[in-house]
């Protein structure tokens, strides 16, 4: 059963507008969450993370929000740029256990110039 | 910069062949992982290792084995390749604890 879910397989946004990518999880033991960006024929690259003790983390144009009660996180990109077009994966990890990352199925973001 | 290097970008193998995918990291990371990526399924964990000679099964270990004889190297072995193992294979490494994993560039394996 998928413990990390990204229910939107794709998203299209105009350049300059905000992109919001969503992620839900089911395992209440998860306490560290990450977003990765992936271009075709390349490995995923780490984008931003958030620990469960926070509800927001910001890095330049990228902000991740965490709602623990809803088991939901989101990635905001503002302003969106054409170079942001990629597949975005949400991932989660638990402090206990083997520290492996559980990934969602990804959302393909297309930023239209 | 962390570097995770996978030995091949593209591989084509025949059904029944034994296939070795190699991965090397240069940051002295304790953890190493093998994932496969398939459309609509995201990244699924095949095996991981948290120390030399230690290995743990992930979500989809069937048909695969791994080897970690040295800290920097983690090998994925397809004992007898089948067409349903055609996929993008991604190696990753991380420090222990809650830390991001760093990925290699991926190996696109096609089994014919």
pLDDT tens string B48-86: 999 999 999 998 999 999 999 999 999 999 999 999 999
Q: How would residue A10 be classed by pLDDT, with cut points 50, 70 and 90?
A: very high
**Interface check B48 vs A, CB under 8 A:** yes
Q: How would residue A100 be classed by pLDDT, with cut points 50, 70 and 90?
A: confident
**Interface check A31 vs B, CB under 8 A:** yes
Q: Measured between CB atoms, which of B33, B58, B102 is closest to A46?
A: B102
Map residue A107 onto helix, strand or coil. Answer: strand
Q: How would residue B2 be classed by pLDDT, with cut points 50, 70 and 90?
A: low
Q: How would residue A97 be classed by pLDDT, with cut points 50, 70 and 90?
A: low
Nearest residue of A to residue B39, measured between CA atoms = A105
**Interface check B39 vs A, CB under 8 A:** no
Q: How would residue A58 be classed by pLDDT, with cut points 50, 70 and 90?
A: very high
Q: How would residue A40 be classed by pLDDT, with cut points 50, 70 and 90?
A: confident
Mean pLDDT to the nearest integer, A50-79? 96
For residue B27, whether the previous peptide bond is cis, meaning omega lies within 30 degrees of 0, is no
**Interface check A6 vs B, CB under 8 A:** yes
- Can you give the length of chain B in residues? 112
Hey, are the CB atoms on B45 and A43 less than 8 Å from each other?
A: no
CA-wise closest residue to B73 among B8, B2, B6 = B6
Of B41, B74, B93, B100, which to mutate for an interface test with A (greatest number of A Cβ within 10 Å)? B100
Of B21, B30, B43, which to mutate for an interface test with A (greatest number of A Cβ within 10 Å)? B43
pLDDT given at position A96: 63
Which parts of B28-78 fold into alpha helices (H)? none
- What's the token pair of residue B2? 């962390």
**Average pLDDT over all residues of chain B:** 93
Question: Is the pLDDT confidence value at B95 over 90?
Answer: no
Hey, are the CB atoms on B100 and A100 less than 8 Å from each other?
A: no
Give the DSSP letter string of A27-92. -TTEEEEEEEEE-TTS--EEEEEEETT-SEEEETTEEEEEETTTTEEEEEESS--GGG-EEEEEEE
CA-wise closest residue to B11 among B104, B94, B85 = B85
Nearest residue of B to residue A103, measured between CA atoms = B43
Q: How would residue A72 be classed by pLDDT, with cut points 50, 70 and 90?
A: very high
Higher per-residue confidence, A85 vs A101: A85
pLDDT given at position A98: 59
- What gap in Å lies between CA B36 and CA A52, rounded to an integer? 27
Map residue B67 onto helix, strand or coil. Answer: strand
**Interface check A104 vs B, CB under 8 A:** yes
Nearest residue of B to residue A4, measured between CA atoms = B42
Cβ within 8 Å of residue B112, ≥6 positions away: B12, B13, B14, B15, B83
């Amino acid at each position: 059963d998928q413990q990390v879910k990204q229910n939107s397989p794709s998203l299209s946004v105009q350049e300059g507008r905000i992109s919001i990518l969503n992620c839900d999880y089911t395992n209440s033991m998860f306490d560290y969450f990450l977003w990765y960006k992936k271009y075709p024929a390349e490995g995923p690259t780490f984008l931003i993370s958030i620990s469960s003790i926070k509800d927001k983390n910001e890095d330049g144009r990228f902000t991740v929000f965490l709602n623990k009660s809803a088991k939901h996180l989101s990635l905001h990109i503002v302003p969106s740029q054409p170079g942001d077009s990629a597949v975005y994966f949400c991932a989660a990890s638990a402090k206990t256990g083997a520290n492996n990352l559980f990934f969602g199925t990804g959302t393909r973001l297309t930023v239209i110039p | 910069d962390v570097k995770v290097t996978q030995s091949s970008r593209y591989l084509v193998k025949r059904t029944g062949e034994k296939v070795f995918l190699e991965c090397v990291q240069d940051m002295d990371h304790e953890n190493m992982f093998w994932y496969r990526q398939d459309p609509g399924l995201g990244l699924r964990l095949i095996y991981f290792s948290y120390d030399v000679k230690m290995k743990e099964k992930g979500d989809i270990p069937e048909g695969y084995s791994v080897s970690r004889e040295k800290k920097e190297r983690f090998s994925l072995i397809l004992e007898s390749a089948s067409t349903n193992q055609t996929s993008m294979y991604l190696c990753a490494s991380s420090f222990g604890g809650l830390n991001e994993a760093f990925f290699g560039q991926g190996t696109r394996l096609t089994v014919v």
